[in-house]
């Protein structure tokens, strides 16, 4: 838990007898609720973990957002509760079906069944000059995906990136993987902060960066 300011629309509230991160919206994954507020579980969300651990994510609320690796909408549902228009890219049809249900309750969430390695296939739909790019694809080549999608961010935009070490190389030392990712990202980004996401997620690195 930390004193970093939270984006408008994200609060620490007592739900179910303890203080938790929360956003206002329809429940998505059986999370505890209190009135309109629903708990944001950092152990099920890399972005939730980054915020809970006090990383300076630089969000204010209302950001125009591209989210890569949306899965069934656990995290992007929270993002769409506090952000502006939120484009959610996912390439697997099965989680996409659930994501469509999450979007049905959120008029700012736009699911796209697309491959994040091929941004040219959604560049005609997604706005440019975005405020925020969130990425959690957990597949090999995570840095390359972030670099390819930098084109959507405005000069002052933010990248909030989760890197899963085992997705790059199950046998490698996670610190060696993270060091390689930092170096590859430097083609397109300046890293502002990074930290490991334990105890919420083992062998993951959270990165806050801005375009070069
Ligand atoms: C760790 S899960 C994401 C969890 C999600 N971010 C959350 O917190 O709710 C990774 C997701 O990224 C998707 N994914 C992986 N590579 C992708 C790609 N190239 N394009 C689009 N989606 C991809 C996977 O299908 C999977 O659903």
> For the chain (length 212 residues), average pLDDT per consecutive 10?
81 96 97 97 98 95 98 98 98 98 98 98 97 98 98 98 98 98 97 98 98 96
- Whether 136 has a binding-site annotation, put simply, is yes
- Whether 75 has a binding-site annotation, put simply, is yes
Q: Which two tokens stand for residue 21?
A: 């991160």
Any ligand 1 atom below 6 A from CB of 139: yes
- Residue 5's pLDDT is 86
- Whether 90 has a binding-site annotation, put simply, is yes
- Residue 4's pLDDT is 77
- Residue 1's pLDDT is 54
Per CATH, domain 41-211 is 3.40.50.720: no
- Residue 164's pLDDT is 98
Which numbered atom of ligand 1 lies nearest the CA of 48? Answer: 8
Domain boundaries along the sequence of the chain: 41-211
Any ligand 1 atom below 6 A from CB of 136: yes
- Residue 95's pLDDT is 98
């Amino acid at each position: 838990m930390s004193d970093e300011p939270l984006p408008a629309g994200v609060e620490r509230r007592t739900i179910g007898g303890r203080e938790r991160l929360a956003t206002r919206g329809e429940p998505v994954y059986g999370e505890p609720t209190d009135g309109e507020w629903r708990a944001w579980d950092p152990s099920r969300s890399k972005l939730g973990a980054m915020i809970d651990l006090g990383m300076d994510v630089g969000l204010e609320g209302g950001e125009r957002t591209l989210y890569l690796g949306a899965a069934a909408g656990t995290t992007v549902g929270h993002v769409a509760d506090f952000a502006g228009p939120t484009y959610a890219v996912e390439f697997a049809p099965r989680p996409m079906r659930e994501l469509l249900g999450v979007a049905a309750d959120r008029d700012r969430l736009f699911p796209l069944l697309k491959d994040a390695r091929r941004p040219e296939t959604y560049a005609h739909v997604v706005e440019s000059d975005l405020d925020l790019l969130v990425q959690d694809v957990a597949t090999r080549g995570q840095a390359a995906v972030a670099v390819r999608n930098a084109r959507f961010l405005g000069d002052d935009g933010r990248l909030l990136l989760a890197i899963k070490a085992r997705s790059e190389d199950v046998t490698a030392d996670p610190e060696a993987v993270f060091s390689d990712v930092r170096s590859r990202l430097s083609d397109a980004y300046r890293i502002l902060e990074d930290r490991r996401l334990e105890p919420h997620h083992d062998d993951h690195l959270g990165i806050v960066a801005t375009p070069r």
